[in-house]
């Protein structure tokens, strides 16, 4: 009899291991739509994580404030030196905005590719195995978050929403190694230079901008931002700065290495950009994956 129960326990253990492995395999698949049980679990877990993450963020913020107070004197000296410059810049910006509004009234233009409504969110967790690839935020469908919306910080673009539930969302970062993650980008200037952010060099810690027309001259130090032509991301989201320019493997187009403006390893508060003026995105751009892995350059 004891031997029978021992064998029974062994069988139950084996069945449990098989079920566990099957669940892990299913959960690791890249999907854009979560099942209802997954959404419920994500919301419950997200709520629990938010209970712990928000006090932690509060404590971190308090410590940062204390540290800031210790350096207030030096910071005030620097701020006073730049105050006059800031006032002049602000006056110029107000003048430019006024002129822009007048011009838009003249041409009857209501929407702009730059317009978006920010949805503020807090990072509540990130998988250690995907530290540089995905984060989970405490905003979801109920807050207006939708698939493929751009996610930014005060410094610049960090990624886009790839999975949403009622109260939480998963964000894939620009530093992902997913080959189907593409962002339509441009280097602003008198003649804008367009290309695609395709890939991330983990050794350099830099993004790769490809499909740049070889007729254009790209220089180190030039700024890179979203073009708004992919159909999802707003125009003008700062991405980073050019550090090196070379040609692709075939010598037909140029590619540039971009130092990202945002620090992907230190994310706590982000904003989801709910674009005001939207169009149907071109397949494969602004992070929208295509079934065959190929996409239009969006430019």
- The region that residue 151 occupies, defined by phi over 0 for left and psi between -120 and 50 for alpha, beta otherwise, is beta
* Cα–Cα dist 47/38, whole Å: 14
Per-residue pLDDT averaged across 262-266, rounded? 88
pLDDT at residue 114 greater than cutoff 90 = no
Per-residue pLDDT averaged across 72-87, rounded? 70
Helix (H) or strand (E) run with residue 152 in it: strand 150-152
**Among the listed ranges 56-60, 157-161, 186-190, which one has the minimum average pLDDT value?**
56-60
| Whole-number average pLDDT of the chain | 79
Q: What is the pLDDT of residue 172?
A: 94
Q: What is the pLDDT of residue 271?
A: 93
pLDDT at residue 111 greater than cutoff 70 = no
Residue predicted with more confidence, 32 or 67: 67
Q: 175: Cβ–Cβ under 8 A, 6 or more apart, which residues?
A: 132, 133, 200, 202, 207, 260, 264
* Cα–Cα dist 106/102, whole Å: 6
Per-residue pLDDT averaged across 34-38, rounded? 67
Q: What is the pLDDT of residue 293?
A: 37
Q: What is the pLDDT of residue 292?
A: 37
* Cα–Cα dist 46/121, whole Å: 12
pLDDT at residue 204 greater than cutoff 70 = yes
* Cα–Cα dist 200/103, whole Å: 39
Q: Look up the pTM and report it.
A: 0.61
Tell me the CA distances in angstroms from 170 to 22, 122, 152, 192, one per residue in order.
22, 12, 14, 32
* Cα–Cα dist 297/291, whole Å: 16
pLDDT at residue 29 greater than cutoff 90 = no
Query: 168 with 46: CB under 8 angstroms?
Result: yes
Q: 47: Cβ–Cβ under 8 A, 6 or more apart, which residues?
A: 167
**Among the listed ranges 17-31, 135-149, 167-181, which one has the minimum average pLDDT value?**
17-31
Q: What is the pLDDT of residue 2?
A: 53
Per-residue pLDDT averaged across 176-194, rounded? 90
């Amino acid at each position: 009899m004891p031997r029978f129960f021992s064998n029974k326990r062994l069988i139950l253990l084996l069945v449990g291991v098989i079920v566990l492995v099957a669940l892990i395999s299913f959960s690791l698949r890249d999907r854009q739509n979560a099942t209802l049980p997954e959404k419920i679990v994500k919301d419950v877990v997200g709520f629990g994580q938010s209970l712990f993450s928000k006090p932690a963020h509060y404590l971190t913020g308090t410590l940062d404030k204390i540290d800031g107070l210790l350096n207030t004197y030096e910071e005030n000296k620097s701020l006073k030196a730049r105050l006059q410059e800031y006032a002049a810049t602000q006056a110029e910006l107000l003048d430019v905005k006024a002129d822009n509004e007048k011009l838009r009234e003249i041409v009857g233009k209501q929407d702009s590719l730059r317009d978006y409504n920010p949805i503020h969110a807090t990072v509540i967790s990130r998988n250690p195995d995907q530290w540089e690839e995905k984060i989970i935020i405490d905003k979801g469908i109920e807050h207006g978050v939708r698939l493929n919306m751009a996610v930014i910080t005060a410094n610049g673009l960090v990624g886009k929403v790839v999975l949403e539930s009622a109260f939480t969302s998963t964000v894939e970062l620009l530093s992902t190694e997913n080959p189907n993650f593409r962002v339509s980008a441009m280097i602003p200037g008198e003649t804008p230079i367009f290309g695609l952010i395709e890939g991330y060099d983990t050794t350099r810690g830099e993004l790769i901008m490809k499909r740049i027309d070889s007729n254009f001259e790209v220089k180190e130090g030039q700024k890179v931002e979203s073009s708004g032509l992919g159909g999802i991301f707003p125009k003008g989201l700062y991405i980073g700065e050019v550090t090196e320019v070379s040609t692709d493997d075939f010598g037909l187009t140029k590619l540039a290495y971009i130092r990202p403006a945002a620090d992907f390893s230190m994310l706590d508060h982000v904003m989801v950009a709910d674009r005001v003026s939207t169009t149907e995105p071109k397949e494969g751009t602004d992070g929208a994956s295509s079934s065959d892995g190929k996409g239009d350059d969006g430019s």
